[in-house]
Amino acid sequence: TPATPLTGRKYLKSKEQGQNVTPVSTATQTVQRLQSLLSGRQAAPSPWLLQTISRVCETNPKIEERVRSLGEKFCAEYTQTTPNHPGTHIDFAQKRLQLAETLFYKLLENILKDEIKKPNFDCNSLLQHEMFHQTLFACCLEIVIYSYNSQQRTFPWVLTALDIEPYHFYKIIEVTVRAEDQLSRDMVKHLNLIEEQILEALAWRGNSPLWEAIGASELPIPTCEDVSLPGQLLEDNPTLTPLNNPAIRRLVVPVVTQSPGPSASERFHSPVTSA
């Protein structure tokens, strides 16, 4: 069996021993860990983050305005009544939003502290990249929603709510896991499963930007054999799946030789989309 390219799996911590695990206890522990992770932090950029942004950005990236706009969109969707859900009170939405905003600024700070160590890093381009902020914020919301075990808003609900394509969201998953080593084993596993879901199905939907990327590249379109799971075809190649096909991987993230993987700036190198 070929090694999986889902790099997040190497970030999984060992299973905790001696605990009586139930769905309720798991949800409670996950929320407690999230709150502990964010202890002492605020739903606003830290002085270090503000100073760094002011120093490296040629123009104001208006990050707080972006976050505020995304937060309003989230609250509107979270409280919306649907045929499958009666809607949620705004207080619940705002509580989850506050946690997501706090996590967003913490992760953004961690990412920048790592990125600025790299030679020739263009911090300005990354901070001006609209999709970088959108996907990072969506990932923070997904972490919060999953922590509260919201059965009515399982992935990809958050992408639909914020109008983000799975193809773009994929790029932020490993960046997030690398940026915060205190995420629980269960949370990292959840993000890994999302990564699989995107690569196996969601990125291939008819309106996915992946098709535009294929058209713009000079790479051949992957064949049915290339993207089929082992056993789905009589004469398939068991070493190629949607998860390790090199043609697919090159379209999702740039090919680099650095370890442990492409940085945030490499994944969101172009184009820059302004709000």
165 pLDDT more than 60: yes
More confident residue, 84 or 180: 180
Q: What mean pLDDT do residues 147-165 have?
A: 94
In the chain, what percentage of residues exceed pLDDT 70? Answer: 74
> pLDDT category, 29, cuts 50, 70, 90?
confident
Q: How many CA atoms lie within 13 A of 140 on its CB side?
A: 28
- Greatest mean pLDDT among 91-95, 119-123, 256-260, 263-267 lies in 91-95
Is 70 exceeded by the pLDDT of residue 142? yes
Distance spanning both ends of the chain, measured CA to CA: 44
Q: How far is CA 15 from CA 19, 77, 84, in A?
A: 10, 35, 35
Higher-confidence residue of 243 and 32: namely 32
Kindly write down the DSSP assignment for every residue of 91-154, as one continuous string: HHHHHHHHHHHHHHHHHHHHHHHHHTTSTT--HHHHHT-HHHHHHHHHHHHHHHHHHTT-GGG-
Predicted confidence at residue 87, as pLDDT, reads 76
For residue 160, the model assigns a pLDDT of 96
| Superfamily name and number for 34-210 | Cyclin-like (1.10.472.10)
Q: How far is it, in rounded angstroms, from Cα 1 to Cα 241?
A: 11
Residue 148 confidence (pLDDT) above 80? yes
What is the model's pLDDT at position 266? 85
Listed range (83-87, 155-159, 165-169) with the worst mean pLDDT: 83-87
Please state the pTM of the whole predicted model: 0.81
Confidence at residue 19, expressed as pLDDT on a 0 to 100 scale:
55
List, for residues 91-140, the tens digit of each pLDDT value: 999 999 999 999 999 999 999 999 988 887 788 899 999 999 999 999 99
Alpha-carbon torsion (78, 80, 82, 85), positive or negative: positive
| CA pair distance 115, 118, nearest whole angstrom | 6
Residue 209: pLDDT band (50, 70, 90) is very high
- Give dist(CA 272, CA 180) in Å, integer: 25
